[in-house]
Structure 1
Amino acid sequence: MPVLGVTSSPDASVGPKPRPRTGVVLATLLTCQLMIMVDVTVMNVALPGIGSDLDVGATGLTWVTHGYTLAFGGLLLLGGRAGDLWGRRRMFLTGVALFTAASAVGGLAPSAAWLVGARVVQGVGAAVAGPNALALLTTVFTEPRARMRALALYSGMAGAGFAVGLLVGGVLTQGLGWRAVLFINVPLGGLALLAAVRCLPAVPRRPGRLDLPGALTATAGVTALVYGFNRAATHGWGDAAACLALGAGAVSAVAFVAVERGAAQPLLPLSLFADRDRAAAYANVFVGYMASIPMFFFLSLYVQEVRGLGALATGFAFLPTAALMFALIQWVPRLLRRFGPGPITLTGSVSMVAALVLLTRLTTGTPYVPLVLAAALLMGCGTGLALMPLSVVIMSRVPQDVAGVAGGALQTIQQTGAALGLSVLTTVFGAASRGAAGPPRQVLVTGVTAAFTAAAVMAALTIPGTLAFRRRRRDEP
């Protein structure tokens, strides 16, 4: 077999195709998704302990989070396409194994460099496992209603994972130390691997060849953009390295589109965006994650630095958001079948805007109840209704031969949107803080509320996208 070519034979890593046990398959894929998304935020609460234990400064600590997000975001398209060509089950198993092993190595880290290296490998594993888990889900669940429910569950794990990461990070860091944040992935990953080996079905490979020019330009472009946004968030938009990275990312993105337009077997078929509903969903994923995910960062900053909450209490502050998102998972498929995506996502977008507007009213003395609690509940409802249906819209009717890359595109857009949102809002926060007067806590509140004001504007930009969805007939799945 050629190095870059594949045949249409079944995935060679398995024998005869088993009949999938859908309950176990779904639990396995959801566990994988939760692990991957939790690890985007789980280290945030643990950073002070890491800095003290490994004697690393603020710059080094940023790479504990950036190392993961750069590898994850930069390789998602490639990981999804590799599954389409070389076997989704095989690539999923490879990604989960890599993620689990890197978690164990990171938990044993004697130095910051060791830990950052482990986080990068974790990101690579997540980029390989994530899109193929989503593609496997669309393969196993073929009945429209069952697929819609499974996609809603998967999307709920994606959104709630950010909030759960802060909760889990707080509980583990305060109770067992920061290393437990990494070690917890080992038993979870091991169980997911065992279940996957036994229950995941063999999926035929798709004939084709890897689009190397597309892979190189996509990986370089997304990595440069995510790095540039992260760099701008910590060093400002005038930073030369941030500007250079963003410029390189923009050039690579243009080159990628040009390559894909002329490629016989593109890494990302542009036809994915020809469908009106799918294109609107991708756009709202980008803008929605810009507005919602940085909210966890700034609200965490507020409750810790202004209200003086510890790691555990900070994690529990986000429990209502995560709990409401999980509660909505069972309702979203029913609502989608009855009303279609437009009214549901519009309701969610309005709820998101309302939550962020409430948070602009924070002061140095604002108690958790009622304002912060109300905002947390509204954000849980908003992200659940505004973002959860988008995965269903994108993946429910995607052609099977590009399901992996469609899932990779979805998660790439999520990560890029979150990175851009954080960098923009950090800039707003810094500018407002520098222009504020008063004691340190008041200055911080001024910066945080300015960031929430900008986030509310971003969230409002999702509303036009909700109006672009076609109306669905009630009998349409």
Structure 2
Amino acid sequence: MHTHLMSLLVTMTLTHAERSQTPARLWGVLAVLCTVLFLDGLDVSMVGVALPSIGTELGLSTTSLQWIVNGYVLGYGGLLLLGGRTADLLGRRRIFLIALAVFAAASLIGGLVDDGTLLIATRFVKGLAAAFTAPTALSILTTTFAEGPARNRALSVFSVFGASGYSSGLILGGLLTSAGWRWTFLIPVPLALAALIAGIVLIPRDRPAAEGGHDLAGAATLVSGMLLMVYSLVSAPDRGWLHPVTLTLAAAAIALLAAFLVIERRVRHPLIRLGILRAGAIVRANLSMVALFGSYLSFQFMMTLYLQNVLHWSPLRMALALLPAGLLVAFGSPFTGRLITRYGTAPLITGAMLSMALGYGWFLLTAGATPHYVVTTLPTMLLLGGGFALGFSSIMAQATDGIEDSEQGLASGLVQTSGQVGAALVLALVTALVAAASPASRADFSQFHPGVNLVTGVAVAGLLLSLTPLLTRRR
């Protein structure tokens, strides 16, 4: 799938009136942004499916294999906030294209190396590059499309390709792994190069949206604190939550982030304007993203382990079992923009979190020792897919509504950082619960029930949070 096809798919999701009112170049830019988001989802899911084959060929232990995933999370979650703000300060087009080129190069090297350490290093670099492309792409979108129906529609299309990338990666990962795990690293290369060329041609040049000095002390403490925080979260299940190293890392991360807050309050030109967090809607959007991402990705992680390691399903069969959720996101997201325009973001976020909570609750109620696919798993995946389709676009819209163009990168990076750090935290807790449970002597789901209880609680907390503005408004 190349950029021209992406442009056609974007155009197909628009109504006739929207196509007639919108310049083709504008939607060409959206096609480039969607391609990059598609690649992010594609890469994460393909590599996850290929992990057993990578471990067999390179002789990697389970701990080393986890770092192929966690290395990406470390670079991505650790630098997302800085990536969004850097785009505001230095120019979105410049940062987007440079990071996309780095992403393509790291993908190529990752598909050619024969050493596990180098492979993990390329994953960290890819996560670092994605930490700049993801918030920059969203800030380009929100500054290209005017706030209101046009932006809501563009955000819905944007969400479609993120879900499509993840869903396609599950299927492609299963198919490509049978031919060789290296193809899961090499396939994104031509797609990234096509998006890079199209971006050079289509994305207009922009001047830095924010003026001021360079807050080097703030950047250093923010990056160091975020990296240590994410590292402490993803490594805690293996090392132990009360291990001295874990506690030391967590304390150092908190100290660095506290120093960052002090610096930002005192410098003349702060890296991040802390006043953006005074808006209740933005804070709720970020916390809702923690609940949405943290519960959804952790549940899929447990299902992947259960279907492949306990039931011994093939990667392709496992991917097909989880596919309904991704398909529902892909086909449901185009309508979310119209719903946001009509009803606003708050009711949709509430509906999304309710759907997520019902999905996990249904699974707990009907799973038993061995979940039946038609009775338990399929309805759960449909509820989760519907909730994610409503929630992702709505949360993104709420997190960037009313923000000046000069801070769109900051707002975009902030909400995506919340999702990544929230996912790392909930996944680390879920992993610890699953590991602490007595290993299942039979092929049943009992070992994973504590983890499902946790993600259900996270979704319910997100639901209660989303009800706050609705209850306040009624009162």
TM-score (norm 1): 0.89
- Matched-pair contact (CA < 8 Å) for 2:30–2:141: yes
Report the alpha carbon displacement of residue 89 of structure 1 after superposing the two structures with TM: 0.3
- Matched-pair contact (CA < 8 Å) for 2:359–2:379: yes
C-alpha offsets along residues 48-103 of structure 1, whole Å, 9 cap, x if unaligned?
10011111112221221111111111111222222112111011000100001100
Relative distance call for 1:129 and 1:261 in structure 2 (3 A) is same
Distance 1:393 1:70 in 2: 26
Is residue 2:272 matched to residue 1:268? Answer: yes
Report the alpha carbon displacement of residue 265 of structure 1 after superposing the two structures with TM: 2.1
Residue range with higher mean Cα deviation, 354-363 or 154-163: 154-163
**The one of 194, 199, 208 aligned to 1:196:** 199
Report the alpha carbon displacement of residue 143 of structure 1 after superposing the two structures with TM: 5.4
What pairs up with 1:217-236 in 2 under 5 angstroms?
A: 217-236=221-240
Report the alpha carbon displacement of residue 470 of structure 1 after superposing the two structures with TM: 6.5
Distance 1:379 1:431 in 2: 26
Is residue 2:119 matched to residue 1:115? Answer: yes
Relative distance call for 1:308 and 1:362 in structure 2 (3 A) is farther
Report the alpha carbon displacement of residue 199 of structure 1 after superposing the two structures with TM: 0.3
- 2:17 match: none
Equivalenced residue count is 449
DSSP-derived class of the 2:48 partner: coil
Letter in 2 for 1:236: G
Relative distance call for 1:274 and 1:224 in structure 2 (3 A) is same
Report the alpha carbon displacement of residue 241 of structure 1 after superposing the two structures with TM: 2.6
Letter in 2 for 1:219: V
Distance 2:161 2:416 in 1: 13
Report the alpha carbon displacement of residue 193 of structure 1 after superposing the two structures with TM: 0.5
- Matched-pair contact (CA < 8 Å) for 2:359–2:383: yes
- 2:456 match: 456
Relative distance call for 1:79 and 1:240 in structure 2 (3 A) is same
Distance 1:451 1:120 in 2: 27
**What fraction of aligned residue pairs are identical, expressed as a percent?**
33
- Of Structure 1 and Structure 2, the greater helix share is in 2
- Matched-pair contact (CA < 8 Å) for 1:25–1:199: yes
Is residue 2:398 matched to residue 1:393? Answer: yes
Distance 2:282 2:163 in 1: 19
Relative distance call for 1:161 and 1:456 in structure 2 (3 A) is farther
Relative distance call for 1:199 and 1:346 in structure 2 (3 A) is same
**The one of 381, 387, 394 aligned to 1:382:** 387
- Matched-pair contact (CA < 8 Å) for 1:32–1:192: yes
Is residue 2:138 matched to residue 1:134? Answer: yes
Relative distance call for 1:149 and 1:73 in structure 2 (3 A) is same
Residue range with higher mean Cα deviation, 342-351 or 94-103: 342-351
Distance 2:369 2:39 in 1: 34
- Matched-pair contact (CA < 8 Å) for 1:91–1:129: yes
Relative distance call for 1:211 and 1:167 in structure 2 (3 A) is farther
Relative distance call for 1:158 and 1:137 in structure 2 (3 A) is same
What pairs up with 1:141-152 in 2 under 5 angstroms?
A: 141-142=145-146, 144-152=148-156
Is residue 2:102 matched to residue 1:98? Answer: yes
- Matched-pair contact (CA < 8 Å) for 2:218–2:270: yes
Relative distance call for 1:263 and 1:471 in structure 2 (3 A) is farther
Letter in 2 for 1:447: Q
Distance 1:37 1:256 in 2: 31
Residue range with higher mean Cα deviation, 212-221 or 160-169: 160-169
DSSP-derived class of the 1:171 partner: helix
Is residue 2:56 matched to residue 1:52? Answer: yes
- Matched-pair contact (CA < 8 Å) for 2:73–2:420: yes
Structure 1 gaps of 5+ residues are 1-18
Distance 1:164 1:420 in 2: 26
Report the alpha carbon displacement of residue 308 of structure 1 after superposing the two structures with TM: 2.3
CA RMSD of aligned residues (A): 2.1
Report the alpha carbon displacement of residue 262 of structure 1 after superposing the two structures with TM: 2.1
C-alpha offsets along residues 223-256 of structure 1, whole Å, 9 cap, x if unaligned?
1111111112333313333222222222222222
Distance 1:103 1:454 in 2: 34
**The one of 66, 80, 91 aligned to 1:76:** 80
Letter in 1 for 2:435: G
Structure 2 gaps of 5+ residues are 1-22
